[in-house]
Amino acid sequence: MKQKKSYAVVTGASSGIGAEFARQLAKEGYPLVLTARRLELLEELAAPMRAQGVKVRTIAADLEKEEECYRLMQLLEKEKIGVFINNAGFGDCGFFLDNHVEKELAMIDVNVRAMHLLTKLVLRKMKKQKGGYLLNVASSAGLIPAGPYMATYYATKAYVASLTRAIARELREAHSRIYIGALCPGPVDTQFNETAGVEFALPGISAEACVSYAITQMKRKKVVIVPTARMKFVITCGRFLPQDLYILLTGRQQKKKIGRA
């Protein structure tokens, strides 16, 4: 397999969707830069790929901290980035008044602030390179008006989806060669469930299927990527519902996850 000259960078790469992006982009021929908080998990992921001749660089970084986002980009200053998967993030579930504010603010720092900052820094780098692909990992939650019992998570992912769509329009009107898109999956069977403390109401798809579809649609320069016909149907039907009803129905599904139904 011929190695590409530009790197694929994946944040939140130590598990779940991020780890699967790493595996599949390696098969596409990209040398990799993988980052997450725990270096030992990154090295565990990298080992079999290195054994197959893939060039993999691992960087431990806590993207909840703004200075760590800048440090990551400084470490990548001399590298050409062909693909950047902005995947780091986490969720939480529960009654808003009961949830720990520290965890919610940390979620905002990772899901919104780090995503926003890295998007800006990577796009500026890609502008100098005259091209590249940036995929922000959002969620179908970001396409729904609100999500009671996962209120903060839904709000952060709405930010990701909105920001990405706006930037995509700006780039298109500037006739830029840079692509930006938002991956908005429904339930995916990953460790996210354990971190957020939830069990999904709808059946999840595998991380492998989600990432394979995302890469295909990214190559086609699709801005909003929603894997599975089921989730597309849910999102489309929701557009025709009164928003209060849509939020009520969404809340009922989330409520089941925390035993409040």
Which are the catalytic amino acids?
A: 153, 157
Got the DSSP string for 109-169?
IIIIIIHHHHHHHHHHHHHHHT-EEEEEE--GGGGSS--TTSHHHHHHHHHHHHHHHHHHH
Query: Do residues 110 and 36 lie in contact, with contact meaning Cβ atoms separated by under 8 Å?
Result: no
End-to-end CA gap in the chain? 52
Residue 8 CA neighbour count, 13 Å, CB half: 26
The amino acid that residue 172 corresponds to is R
Which residue has 């999500």 as its token pair?
A: 147
136 neighbors 181 (Cβ within 8 angstroms)? yes
